[in-house]
Amino acid sequence: MDFELFTNILFATLRTGTPLILIALGEMVCEKSGVLNLGQEGMVLMGAALGFIAAVVTGHAGLGIIAAILAGMMMSVLFAFLAVTLVSNQVATGLALTIFGTGLSGFLGAGYVGMAIDGIAPFPIPFLSDIPVIGKVLFSHDPLVYFSWVMFALIFWCFRSTRLGLTIRAVGENPEAANAIGIPVMKVRYGAILFGGAMSGLAGAYLSLVYTPMWSEGMSAGRGWIALALVVFASWKAERILLGAYLFGAASIMHLVLQGLGFEASPNLLAMLPYAATIIVLVIIASDAAKAKLSTPLALGRPYRPQV
């Protein structure tokens, strides 16, 4: 394999991993507060659809990103209202959000299938991007890749050394106790869910404005679900999400690698790889059940209803 191809593969790995990082970080915060939101896929699709529509209508990709974030948040408010305020079953509600988001995004985006836009241009960081190899691999990306690193750093710091991080964890571990010491449990959960929605919406925008600047129905292709597995794989630790997302990114672009090595394989068979990898990862996590249990937020998926 020649050297340039190797650089290209690393570059593509980072690009492919970025939406997974965004979704998984958002979901991690959400789950840390004790809420299991299985609606990522629906929120990502809504972000992708509305981001694309806004970009086409206004002509500004930046506005597309804002629209995508808002779309993700609107979807997550729906979820929060049902799962937090109306204490519905979180698993079923999350599934509903995905089904609803898939349908709604398909409906809204129907008139925009096949349109082309410019998308968001890469922004090579001055000087840094001139470094050989590293410059190309790390510093010649579009702004959202850098943003995913910023968000990673922020969340890492938040859960490591801030009161906010502690508060969210308290709510996710023991909402009754958190409530007793005066933490507004419902508000914290709403906030965490909204944050997750915003991140998923943004990931959607990454797909439809950067990764493949176009809209097609169901274009997220299960990334929301893969990100959910990623959070478990990372045992709710931001640094392991980063690592895991890039591993999955690499699995998704295997066709590039294989071409580089001179193999021919069916694109459909290679497309199975990230999903198969996810299953393998799930098996590996589950084989260490005791450890997985230790890092799972204690109140994950358990509805909380304040006793008045």
Partner 1 sequence: MLNITLEKRQSDSKTMSYLSPLFAIILTLISGGLLFTALGQDPFHALYTFFIAPLTDVYGWTELGVKVAPLTLCAIGLMLCFKARIWNIGAEGQFILGGLGGGYIALELLEAEGFWVLPVVLFCGALSGLLWGALTALLKTRFGANEILTTIMLNYIALNWLLYGVHGPLKDPDGFNFPESALFSDFATLPVLSDDYRLNISIFFALFAVAVIWTLMSKTLLGFQIAVLGEDKAAARFAGFKEERLIWFVLLACGALAGLAGVSEVTGSVGQLNPYISPGYGYAAIIVAFLGRMHPVGIVFASMLLALTYMGGEMAQMDLGLPKSLTGLFQGMLLFYLLACDLLISYRIVRKPAARAISSSSNPAQA
Which stretch in 55-63, 132-140, 206-214, 277-285 sits in contact with partner 1 by CB under 8 A?
A: 277-285
Which residues, 210 to 239, sit near partner 1 by CB under 8 A? 217, 221-222, 225-226, 228-229, 232
Question: Taking CB under 8 A as the rule, does residue 251 contact partner 1?
Answer: no
- Estimate to the nearest angstrom the gap between the alpha carbon of 262 and the chain centroid: 33
CA gap 211, 209 in Å, rounded: 6
Question: Taking CB under 8 A as the rule, does residue 286 contact partner 1?
Answer: yes
Place of tokens 């959400």: 30
For residues 232 and 285, is the Cβ–Cβ distance under 8 A? yes
Tokens of 224: 């929301």
Question: Taking CB under 8 A as the rule, does residue 106 contact partner 1?
Answer: yes
| Smaller CB separation from partner 1, 165 or 184 | 184
| Smaller CB separation from partner 1, 116 or 290 | 290
* Cα 286-288-294 angle, rounded to 5 deg: 100
Site pattern 46..65 for partner 1 (x: CB under 8 A): --------------------
* Cα 207-209-210 angle, rounded to 5 deg: 70
Which of 56, 63, 95, 300 forms a contact with partner 1 (CB under 8 A)?
95
Question: Taking CB under 8 A as the rule, does residue 266 contact partner 1?
Answer: yes
- Distance of closest approach, residue 31 Cβ to partner 1, in angstroms: 13
Question: Taking CB under 8 A as the rule, does residue 13 contact partner 1?
Answer: no
- Distance of closest approach, residue 306 Cβ to partner 1, in angstroms: 11
What is the 3-state secondary structure of 182-219? Answer: CCCHHHHHHHHHHHHHHHHHHHHHHHHHHHCCCCCCCC
Which of 272, 295, 298, 302 forms a contact with partner 1 (CB under 8 A)?
272
Which of 34, 47, 64, 101 forms a contact with partner 1 (CB under 8 A)?
101
Question: Total binding residues for partner 1 by CB under 8 A?
Answer: 49
Which of 58, 59, 60, 111 forms a contact with partner 1 (CB under 8 A)?
111
- Distance of closest approach, residue 116 Cβ to partner 1, in angstroms: 20
Binding site for partner 1 (CB under 8 A): 38, 42, 78, 82, 86-89, 91-93, 95-97, 99-104, 106-107, 110-111, 217, 221-222, 225-226, 228-229, 232, 266, 268-269, 271-272, 275-276, 278-279, 282-283, 285-287, 289, 305, 308
